[in-house]
Structure 1
Amino acid sequence: MKKLIVTGIDGNFGKNVAYYIQQLIPKESLIFCSYNKAALKEYQDSGIETRVTDFNNITGLDQAFSNGSKLLLISMPFVGIKRQNAHKNVVDAAKDAGVEQIIYTSLVNADGPTNPSVEKKDHIYTEEYIKQLGLDYIFLRNSQYAEAMITNYFTFAKDDGILKNSQGNGLMAYISRKDCAKAAAYALASNNLHHKILNINGMEAMTISKFIEIGNTATGNHVTYQAISDEENYQVFDAMGVPRTTDGIFKKGSEAPFSSDGMVTFSQAIRENKMATCTQDFQKLTGSNPLTVKYMFEHAADFQIGERHSLDK
């Protein structure tokens, strides 16, 4: 019997997928993968088959993906050619191993020709490469993680109380990373989805000002919003010790574990309403509503972005 493969279970996203998929699929039908052997031990001890994988090196990846019918590729935590090459290695190896379908965690409006996000370049590359090889697919185009902006909110609440970025009045349907992981688990477990693109969005598209207003009501803080230019936004992250690219050095315990190139161009895309997509795809896939921004602020300790767990070797 062929199994379902979950990659990247050592990361923040992958750990959540590992939790949800076990609610849907028997352990004997799963294979969990990670470059970190220690991260696999608890799952191996529980009876789940595990494989050590290094996506930067294609050698042996096809053997790691053997006996798999479907594979969840969680996008890697670095940006640019390295990520594209790593994803290509996974897709090539999956095809060679006889995997029939790839579920890929992409980005809302990944195929938008005028979307300025640097992140989207890697996502559309991966989507197109999966199609090029003739594999079946489910592309999960996720909205921005609410956790990133909730963490950002509290950073400014502890500082001068003015949240500054270059999103302006653009709209984003913020969604929890946990819900994105839940959607990924449901897509992997599905039997009737083929050649599908699903937009995984929160309950409503909102401006950052409304996001802050919800946060203030839930927490009692009095954070305000200040729109700044993209260059000023870079300077904010420079002052926080955030590198401009994922090749840079991330400050230990940084409250912004993403590169500023990614975050600033994300803000630009939001400002230009290139990511305002808000659909019911999550509800149709999972049978439940996504968590609201209000709920996440009310339980803010459970919805912080956290440190970078999946690291490039």
Structure 2
Amino acid sequence: MKKILVTGATGELGSTVIKTLLKTGTAENISVLTRKEESKIEFEKRGLNAFIGQYSDVQSLEKAMENLDTVLLISSGDQGDRMQEHKNVIDTAKKKGVQNIAYTSRSLKDKNTLVNKLMMEHFLTEDYIKESGLKYVIFRNALYMDVLPLFVGKNVFEKGILQPARNGKVAYVLKAEQAEAIANVLMNENFENQTFNFTGSDAYSFYDVATALTELTGKQVNYKSIEVEPFKKIMLENGVPESMVKKIVDFNLDIKNGQEEMVTNELQQYLGRKPKNLKEGLKILFNL
């Protein structure tokens, strides 16, 4: 088995990758990077090699990458300098003699017409990996279905769905299934500079989301597509911070423009089964 470092180990994606790796691999071959001492202790109890560190701390990365052949770089959040953090991980992997790097990118139709410029950093990271000379696997993941409760809001069954996405569609996938497929690739595939588009088997609009929620609950849920400016006004009046409103609008505009609608069977191939469809996923996410 490869000796693998999983970054972002305490997040849902990282923790499910680790759980899947442990099904067929041994804990001593898995290293994890975490920011918290209590998490480090918990990982060590499970037999994993755990290191305190973060992407901005090169010394901690160097320590975590001793005697490894593979690093899974789970993309950083957008709170700091994400590109520099990613470069730190890639540069350190190269310096420490790591052979393989995997990266969690995004499955989007055309990087040149994106509204959400934060997504461009994924493609810039892909380019930096390719220039590094490391053998790579890039996972272009669809938008996680897990974000839907946040998009539609707590009062979806009373007020319905209001978004500026028109009839744009998304090939949603549950985060846990993305992680499981990623782990299967890490364990079983040679790194030969592949790029996988891990998407759901179908793409869905917010009209489809509303219909699925109606069928699951018996409560009528409607979707209304609204123009951007009135949508912004409503969000701000509801107390949503302006920076968050911008992110939500940018995601919606990319959905409207077809950026998220790509469908492939690559996830199914590495998951070993068909991923859960919209209705199955919503049942889990809303505890229905």
TM-score for the superposition, normalised by structure 2: 0.92
The alignment partner of 2:264 has SS state of coil
- 1:136 corresponds in structure 2 to 135
Question: How many residue pairs get matched?
Answer: 288
- 2:155 corresponds in structure 1 to 156
- 1:175 corresponds in structure 2 to 173
The alignment partner of 2:81 has SS state of helix
Query: Aligned partners of 1:2, 1:280: CA distance in 2, in Å?
Result: 26
- 1:288 corresponds in structure 2 to 273
Look up the equivalent residue of 1:3 and give its one-letter code.
Answer: K
Look up the equivalent residue of 2:71 and give its one-letter code.
Answer: L
Question: What are the within-5 Å matches in structure 2 for residues 224-263 of structure 1?
Answer: 224-245=222-243, 259-263=244-248
- 2:206 corresponds in structure 1 to 208
Measured after TM superposition, the shift of residue 157 of structure 1 is 2.0
The alignment partner of 2:154 has SS state of helix
Query: Aligned partners of 1:170, 1:120: CA distance in 2, in Å?
Result: 18
TM-score for the superposition, normalised by structure 1: 0.85
Query: Aligned partners of 2:209, 2:265: CA distance in 1, in Å?
Result: 20
Query: Aligned partners of 2:187, 2:2: CA distance in 1, in Å?
Result: 13
Measured after TM superposition, the shift of residue 297 of structure 1 is 2.2
Measured after TM superposition, the shift of residue 151 of structure 1 is 4.2
The alignment partner of 1:56 has SS state of coil
- 2:61 corresponds in structure 1 to 61
More helix by share: 2
Measured after TM superposition, the shift of residue 241 of structure 1 is 4.1
The alignment partner of 1:31 has SS state of strand
Measured after TM superposition, the shift of residue 231 of structure 1 is 3.3
Look up the equivalent residue of 2:16 and give its one-letter code.
Answer: N
Q: Relative to structure 1, is the Cα distance of residues 170 and 178 closer, same or farther in structure 2, using a 3 angstrom cutoff?
A: same
Look up the equivalent residue of 2:256 and give its one-letter code.
Answer: R
Measured after TM superposition, the shift of residue 2 of structure 1 is 6.0
Q: Relative to structure 1, is the Cα distance of residues 166 and 114 closer, same or farther in structure 2, using a 3 angstrom cutoff?
A: same
Percent of aligned positions that are identical: 26
Verify the 8 A CA contact 1:153 1:212 in the aligned structure 2. Answer: no
Deviation per residue, 1:150-204 (Å, 9 max, x gap): 344352325x422111111011111111111112212221333421111111120
Q: Relative to structure 1, is the Cα distance of residues 175 and 71 closer, same or farther in structure 2, using a 3 angstrom cutoff?
A: same
Q: Relative to structure 1, is the Cα distance of residues 180 and 46 closer, same or farther in structure 2, using a 3 angstrom cutoff?
A: same
Verify the 8 A CA contact 1:118 1:262 in the aligned structure 2. Answer: no
Query: Aligned partners of 1:238, 1:102: CA distance in 2, in Å?
Result: 41
Query: Aligned partners of 1:302, 1:130: CA distance in 2, in Å?
Result: 39
- 2:75 corresponds in structure 1 to 75
Measured after TM superposition, the shift of residue 279 of structure 1 is 0.2
Moved more, 209-218 or 222-231: 222-231
Query: Aligned partners of 2:136, 2:236: CA distance in 1, in Å?
Result: 38
Moved more, 19-28 or 29-38: 19-28
Verify the 8 A CA contact 1:162 1:223 in the aligned structure 2. Answer: yes
Measured after TM superposition, the shift of residue 217 of structure 1 is 0.7
**2:52 paired with 1:52:** yes
